[in-house]
Amino acid sequence: MAVFEGSFTQAEPLHFALVIGRFNDLVTTKLLEGCQDCLKRHGIDTNPHGSQVDYVWVPGSFEVPLVARQLAMSGSYDAIICLGAVIRGQTPHFDYVSSEVAKGISAAAFQTGVPVIFGVLTADTMQQALERAGIKSNHGWDYAMNALEMASLMRQLRPNLKQQYSSVNSGTLAGSLKSATLNNIPAESEEKV
């Protein structure tokens, strides 16, 4: 058995895309700063004209999942970090937006196999959002750490998955799975009910 765990230092450079919702930019800009700080401290070149991080600004959090999925499908990134802020108002709009954004970001990761990090703050008040974006702590840092770890982990898992798929295709794994399955099927009871 093997143990796989993401690392925060890489021999090969990692590539990230950040998708940032412009709505509530007082909050999202702070999240972006925390994210960039973390990536820089872990050796990632965050220069927009560099080769390791691309930045995509979208109107708001609701638009984030679609763009994240497109970026993940490109095959150019080790992880996508989604940043946004949805703040509760006096209508059900908050519930619809936050729910759909969470589902969309999750779907983007599952559909593409690329880590898509959920960095969309949902808060009851602007004060709560600001506290999570830099006054007390900056969750942007946490989102970047998640991206670093998951990108590293997926790089480790991909060669193993390729090896397993090639074993299945060559018949070696398929044969052993077939015999294991046949050996574990209980014999039919002769007793009739």
Which residue ranges make up the annotated binding site for 5-amino-6-(D-ribitylamino)uracil?
A: 23, 61-63, 85-87, 118
Amino acid at 8: F
Amino acid at 89: G
Annotated binding site: 23, 61-63, 85-87, 90-91, 118, 132
d(CA 151, CA 134): 25
CB 81 within 8 A of CB 52: no
Which SS3 state, helix, strand or coil, does residue 159 take? helix
How distant, in Å, are the alpha carbons of 42, 53, 118 from that of 11?
Answer: 12, 17, 26
In this structure, is the dihedral angle defined by the CA atoms of residues 87, 91, 95 and 101, taken in order, positive or negative?
negative
Around Cβ 17, how many Cβ atoms within 10 Å?
24
CB 65 within 8 A of CB 101: yes
Annotated binding site for (2S)-2-hydroxy-3-oxobutyl phosphate: 90-91, 132
**Six-digit token pair at 45?**
């070149």
**Six-digit token pair at 78?**
């080790």
* Residues in a beta bridge with 53: 16
| Active-site choice (15, 42, 49, 93) | 93
For the chain, the C-alpha Rg in angstroms (whole number) is 22
Q: Does the annotation mark 15 as catalytic?
A: no
> Could you list the active site residues?
93
